[in-house]
């Protein structure tokens, strides 16, 4: 049964440590309001505060650090609750917001680095699912509706689908497979089965180093 609403009061609070309820798994936020005097102990606390935000999106705020902290909008005056968090933001995410244009949507992890993101670009008609590898470099899956291209890149290796063809290259850009127009082209040194010989059984000319070119994000141009 829903709580009875009477004289709702809202307050912006600093969000701290959060957890999942042991029984239900529901996220519970810890919040600290503004002090009514110079004594910080006068600041009201909101412990184990439930969250009611948009459906389909659940997040736990990242703890405060030297870069700032998350803030939440707590509504009070709802029967059965000390408070309910109905919205939150984290100014440490400004680096993501600053790169967005009108119509764009970004879903990202709540840590200060936003290390994992889903970027949806309206103007460019692009979708990008990206994260950072252990070496700090970006890896991701990219769809470009404007250029009819798709690409996945991990550890410098690239798989691309564009212009009716498929290409796959290693991080050097010198070995790969190209499939287009009913033709399969293999680039680089080829070793067929068994113990690796000192001299490859066959070799073909290595492809040039990765260079941006038409219909290719990076790597080898399709034939």
Torsion angle defined by CA atoms of residues 74, 33, 29 and 106, in that order, rounded to the nearest 10 degrees: 70
The whole-number pLDDT of residue 217 equals: 37
Higher-scoring residue by pLDDT: 149, 202: 149
- pLDDT (average), residues 187-202: 65
- pLDDT (average), residues 157-170: 93
- Whether 202 shows a pLDDT value over 70: the answer reads no
d(CA 183, CA 105): 39
d(CA 69, CA 64): 4
pLDDT (tens digit, 9 = 90+) per residue, 97-137?
777 889 999 999 888 788 899 999 999 999 999 998 888 88
- Whether 160 shows a pLDDT value over 60: the answer reads yes
- Is there a contact between 16 and 31 (Cβ–Cβ < 8 Å)? yes
- pLDDT (average), residues 155-163: 92
- Is there a contact between 116 and 135 (Cβ–Cβ < 8 Å)? no
- pLDDT (average), residues 156-166: 92
The whole-number pLDDT of residue 118 equals: 92
d(CA 175, CA 35): 63
Longest dimension (CA), the chain: 83
Which of 35, 92, 89 lies closest to 68, judged by CA?
A: 92
Tracing tokens 């001299």 back to the chain, one arrives at 199
- Whether 7 shows a pLDDT value over 80: the answer reads no
- Whether 69 shows a pLDDT value over 90: the answer reads no
Copy the structure tokens of residue 77.
């005056």
d(CA 61, CA 71): 9
- Whether 209 shows a pLDDT value over 50: the answer reads no
Copy the structure tokens of residue 24.
């239900």
Copy the structure tokens of residue 34.
């503004």
- pLDDT (average), residues 69-74: 90
The whole-number pLDDT of residue 159 equals: 96
The whole-number pLDDT of residue 77 equals: 81
pLDDT (tens digit, 9 = 90+) per residue, 15-32?
887 888 888 888 888 887
pLDDT (tens digit, 9 = 90+) per residue, 29-62?
888 776 555 666 666 677 888 888 888 888 888 8
- Is there a contact between 49 and 28 (Cβ–Cβ < 8 Å)? yes
């Amino acid at each position: 049964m829903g709580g009875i609403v009477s004289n709702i009061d809202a307050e912006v609070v600093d969000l701290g440590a959060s957890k999942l309820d042991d029984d239900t798994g529901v996220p519970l936020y810890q919040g600290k309001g503004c002090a009514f005097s110079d004594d910080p102990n006068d600041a009201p606390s909101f412990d184990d505060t439930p969250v009611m935000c948009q459906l389909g999106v659940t997040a736990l705020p990242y703890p405060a650090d030297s870069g700032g902290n998350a803030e939440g909008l707590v509504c009070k005056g709802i029967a059965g609750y000390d408070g309910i968090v109905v919205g939150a933001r984290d100014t440490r995410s400004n680096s993501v917001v600053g790169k967005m244009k009108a119509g764009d949507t970004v879903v990202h992890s709540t840590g200060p680095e936003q290390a994992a993101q889903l970027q949806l670009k309206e103007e460019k008609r692009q979708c990008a699912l990206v994260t950072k590898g252990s070496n700090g470099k970006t890896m991701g899956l990219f769809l470009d509706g404007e250029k009819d291209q798709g690409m996945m890149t991990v550890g410098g290796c690239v798989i691309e689908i564009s212009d009716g063809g498929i290409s796959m290259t290693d991080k050097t850009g010198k070995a790969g497979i190209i499939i287009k127009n009913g033709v399969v082209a293999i680039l680089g040194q080829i070793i067929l089965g068994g113990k690796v010989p000192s001299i490859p059984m066959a070799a073909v000319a290595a492809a040039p180093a990765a260079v941006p070119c038409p219909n290719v994000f990076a790597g080898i141009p399709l034939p």
